[in-house]
Amino acid sequence: MQQHKCIFLDRDGVLNRERGEYTYKPDEFDVLPGVPEALKLLKKNGYLLIVVTNQAGIAKKLYYKEDVLACHNKLQTSCNNIIDAIYFAPGHPVSSESLSRKPDSLMLERAIAKFHIDPSESWMIGDSERDIQAAAKVGVRSVLVGDKYGPNAHVYQAKDLWEAAQLILNS
């Protein structure tokens, strides 16, 4: 069976504006500039696009699964339904054990199995160490985006998703 290459994407801080608190209301869910264009470029170059996001606010009872789904619907609409799948981990380390929650890798493992993904041809784009750690556990290269970490914090770093897409396509 043919294997596919994939871009795994963290959500908050990569696809939508990081607010510093939980983003679960569609009217507060702002897709970052350049995201639709970057996703289109990656898709055009043969990558599956799969979002993997921790959503601990569900376990904390701050919001509901339906709130997350509404935000994901807004994301898909903003990007012309180009994203192939969205996985989210509703657990929280204090209230529930979860291997899905990054830095663990179960969300990525499930996608790899379901979509027949070749980890050696795939990338994770995230804005935190836990994204990078989850990718490493399944043999996926990663790009750290944003300004949370200083220069040289990771082998591959980019300002935003558009710059990360360029880096991946030129690697």
Catalytic annotation, pick one of 10, 67, 104, 131: 10
The question of whether 12 is a catalytic residue gets the answer yes
The question of whether 127 is a catalytic residue gets the answer no
Catalytic annotation, pick one of 12, 67, 127, 131: 12
Contacts 24+ apart (CB under 8 A), 38-46: 38/161, 38/162, 38/164, 38/165, 39/79, 39/82, 39/83, 39/161, 40/79, 40/80, 40/82, 41/165, 41/169, 42/7, 42/165, 42/168, 42/169, 43/82, 45/169, 46/5
Catalytic residues: 10, 12
